[in-house]
Amino acid sequence: MVVRVLNEDELLSYGDIKAKKIALELAIEAIKSSNPYNAVKNSLRIIDRKLVVKGKEFSIKGRIYVLGFGKAAYSMARAVEEVLGEFIADGIIITKYGYGGRLKKIKVIEAGHPIPDTNSFKGALMGLELAKKVSEKDILLVLISGGGSALFTLPEEGISLEDKILTNKLLVESGARIHEINIVRKHISRVKGGKLAKIVKGTLISLILSDVVGDPLDVIASGPTVKDSSTFYDAYRVLKNYRIWDKVPESIRRHILSGIRGEREETLKEELPNVYNFIIGSNAIACETAYKKALEKKLNAYILTTTLEGEAKDVALALGSIIEEIHKRNRPFKKPLALIAGGETTVTLTREEYGVGGPNQELALSISRKIRGLRNTAVIAIDTDGTDGPTDAAGGLVDSYTYDLLVEKGIDIDEFLLNHNSYQALKNAKALVYTGPTRTNVNSIVIAIVL
């Protein structure tokens, strides 16, 4: 997997160049470590007609089918083809537009993300039919990665694709956390919340690249192959709490209320003996890679957390306060250092009209207020998939000069944050980071360098 910053020269054309360069190097190494191709190759092999997954053996008595969905699906499937070769009877993957490629035996469908589209529906329907073909002697190898919830979309009967798309859009814009969004997704889907696992008669083996804080299996891609503890009432409560119950389509409300009354099938509630789930990549691994790279550069390095959550602009102020304390008073950690945090922040859209950006861009713009004037300091906030929110940028890289540069250009940072227009602000400061699609996704990483 070749990952690089496409606009590195622009980013390093001014300001705290040395600190920014180190931040970029650490971020790129972190992304490379989450290479889904390598993760699969390291986890999967064939030995004497046995499929070996992370040391566990499965006898190959029939055919092997492959079903994948997520932003990393193509890279994972390419590795699977190389390992399994002629053992693959059939397969299909659904990935984000621009993230696909040609495979020998596995069909590739590109679809919409973060908002699902007709291709998401088409791919999920084909995937469901594939799962139904799996006999008791067969194996279904499921490749799951971030973005799978939107890319593998198949509404319950009585719910149109348009209604599900609108509901998903309202949830994403509400500020709800990913696990809350997925509670609703599971209860209006025919495949999520363990429902895919219910269909499979043979052995189901999932290889999972985690994009969710803490790696909870029931949340990643809305848990299509694992049991689910949430209920229809929980889905109702999420929509109510974020004040969108009255905004979602009537078909969604009708389905959830029917579920509460016990008139609709609940999600999977027990472990199935034919289902095996394996995590093969995560945000923690990416953060640990950045940490080791920082030590190689003779920096004091600290992983603050791999479960970072919260409103992006507010998380930025908290992290910025720590950076300021280190820069001015050399505590609680000593310079020169790298602070590393992984997770997933959110942006709550509070207006009818708003600008363009993503949580990492908003975090970067917000933190520029706290590191203003702290020379030899830089912060990068980047999504490991290469696309932060609905934009073409992976995130933002700011330093101690960014705030003043924007002020000189007549940009009111607080106003841009209020309008969630971080993309335009950072673009004016030459602070957007472009990597293009990385074909992986293990959440976001924030790295602060203080020299």
**How does pLDDT run across 296-314, given as a tens digit for each residue?**
999 999 999 999 999 999 9
372-383 pLDDT per residue, tens? 999 999 999 999
Query: What is the Cα gyration radius of the chain?
Result: 22
Q: Which of 192, 223, 206 is nearest to 276 (CA)?
A: 206
- Omega of the bond leading into 332 within 30 degrees of 0 (cis): yes
Domain 8-34+283-450 has CATH 3.30.1490.20: no
Phi, psi for 442 (deg, rounded to 5)? -130, 50
- Mean pLDDT, range 189-218, rounded to an integer: 94
Q: Are 138 and 65 in contact (CB under 8 A)?
A: yes
Q: How far apart are CA 391 and CA 388, in angstroms?
A: 6
Q: Which CATH class is domain 36-154+189-231+266-281?
A: alpha beta
Q: Are 41 and 83 in contact (CB under 8 A)?
A: yes
232-278 pLDDT per residue, tens? 999 999 999 999 999 999 999 999 999 999 999 999 999 999 999 99
Model pTM above 0.85:
no
In this predicted structure, the answer to whether residue 352 has a pLDDT above a threshold of 90 is no
Within 10 Å of residue 114's Cβ, how many Cβ atoms?
17
- Please name the residues in contact with 55: beta carbons below 8 A apart, sequence gap of 6 or more: none
Bridge-partner residues for 91, per DSSP?
Answer: 66
Residue for token pair 């690249």: 209
| Coil vs helix vs strand at 28 | helix
The structural domains of the chain, with segments of one domain joined by +, span: 8-34+283-450, 36-154+189-231+266-281
The one-letter amino acid at 409: K
Confidence of residue 214 (pLDDT cuts 50, 70, 90): confident
Distance set, CA 186 to CA 72, 86, 248, 258, 302 (Å) = 21, 34, 15, 15, 37
